[in-house]
């Protein structure tokens, strides 16, 4: 049996598989992936030496745990296929191509697809974990949050955390509703940082700094500030006070940001993203 099967071999699945192999969590031979796209299957097989197939049910049969890495728009079709295999296998006493899905752990990274929806499709006693990862997982700096369904165990949760910590960090939450806030913070958050860096770069270029140098300095500044904040025992407010000398340049800049309502704008943005996440969950 494979330790983990991917249904969907896109960018996030590839990042996870790469991290799992690089960090020696699993060997390539312990993974399997399915995808309708021949290019994605070829990339998995060539770059990662992971077995691939076009058959989702082959992954279901071969793996102890299945990670659903398909788009929300196509997940219902995949869930119906998996559920049909589970129904068919319940009448079989021996293994075969439709080996029972019962007892499998299903981990979903499909945005907005709730635990109730997953459990409803896969069966009332299905062991399901829902995860919200983010794009920096593709460079090993991801942040994921997960919530387990009614029948997933603590051991299932630990297993899922191992997977996502192979590409960054991961935390377990008790309340699924908090995943909307996670989506607004870490899911959408990289775009906020990109926008901030772009604004810094554009402003410095307008002041005469070459654009390439402005970007290089902005990126290093953000990375340095992040590392300092991570290592320091001081709070964000205390770190700001250290940099902002009275009457100095930083104080002048911070007064302008405060006057423009910078913190309120960020709060409004996160609120809007969380509200949209909740709305999409209801629509789906």
Domains and CATH numbers, the chain: 4-174 (3.40.50.720), 189-281 (1.10.3730.10)
pLDDT of residue 255: 97
Whether 54 contacts 36, CB under 8 Å: yes
Give the per-residue pLDDT at 271. Answer: 97
Pairing state between β 31-34 and 4-7: parallel
Mean pLDDT, the chain, integer: 93
Q: Is 58 exposed, middle or buried (0-12, 13-18, 19+ CB in 10 A)?
A: middle
Overall average pLDDT of the 175-181 stretch: 96
Query: By C-alpha distance, which of 197, 223, 201 is closest to 212?
Result: 201
**Which of 98-102, 246-250, 275-279 has the weakest average pLDDT?**
98-102
pLDDT band, residue 91 (cuts 50/70/90) = low
Q: Which of 83-87, 162-166, 184-188 has the lowest mean pLDDT?
A: 83-87
Contacts of 155 (CB under 8 A, 6+ apart): none
- Residue 10 burial (C-beta neighbours within 10 Å; 0-12, 13-18, 19+): middle
- Beta carbons within 10 angstroms of residue 111's beta carbon: 18
Task: Summarize pLDDT for 123-137 with one digit per residue, the tens.
Answer: 878 999 999 999 999
Instruction: Please check the confidence at residue 100 and state whether its pLDDT lies above 50.
Output: no
| CA neighbor of 110 nearest in space, from 5, 8, 3, 2 | 8
Of the candidate ranges 30-34, 85-89, 174-178, 227-231, the one whose mean pLDDT is the lowest: 85-89
Q: What is the pTM of this model?
A: 0.89
> At residue 138, does pLDDT exceed 50?
yes
pLDDT in tens, 180-224: 999 999 999 999 999 999 999 999 999 999 999 999 999 999 999
Strand-pairing partners, residue 168, are: 142
User: Which tops the pLDDT comparison, 132 or 84?
Assistant: 132
Give the model's confidence band at 96: pLDDT under 50 very low, under 70 low, under 90 confident, else very high. Answer: very low
In the predicted structure, residue 61 carries a pLDDT above the cut 90: yes
């Amino acid at each position: 049996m494979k330790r983990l099967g991917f249904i969907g071999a896109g960018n996030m699945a590839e990042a996870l598989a790469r991290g799992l192999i690089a960090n020696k969590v699993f060997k390539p031979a312990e993974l399997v992936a399915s995808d309708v796209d021949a290019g994605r299957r070829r990339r998995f097989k060539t770059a990662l030496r992971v077995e691939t197939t076009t058959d989702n049910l082959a992954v279901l049969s071969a793996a102890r745990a299945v990670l659903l890495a398909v788009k929300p728009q196509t997940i219902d079709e995949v869930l119906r296929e998996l559920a049909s295999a589970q129904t068919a296998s319940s009448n079989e006493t021996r293994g075969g191509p439709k080996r029972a899905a019962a007892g499998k752990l299903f981990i979903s990274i499909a945005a907005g697809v709730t635990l109730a929806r997953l459990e409803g499709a896969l069966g009332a006693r299905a062991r399901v974990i829902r995860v919200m990862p983010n794009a920096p997982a593709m460079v090993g700096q991801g942040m994921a949050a997960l919530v387990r369904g009614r029948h997933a165990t603590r051991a299932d949760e630990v297993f899922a955390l191992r997977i996502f910590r192979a590409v960054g960090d991961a935390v377990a939450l008790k309340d699924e509703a908090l995943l909307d806030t996670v989506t607004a913070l870490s899911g959408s958050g990289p775009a906020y940082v990109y926008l901030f860096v772009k604004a810094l770069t554009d402003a410095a270029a307008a002041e005469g700094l070459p654009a390439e140098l402005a970007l290089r300095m902005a990126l290093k500044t953000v990375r340095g500030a992040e590392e300092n904040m991570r290592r320091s025992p001081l709070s964000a407010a205390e770190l700001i006070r250290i940099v902002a000398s009275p009457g100095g340049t930083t104080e002048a800049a911070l007064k302008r940001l405060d006057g423009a309502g910078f913190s309120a704008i960020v709060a409004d943005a996160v609120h809007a993203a969380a509200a949209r996440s909740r709305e999409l969950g209801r629509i789906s």
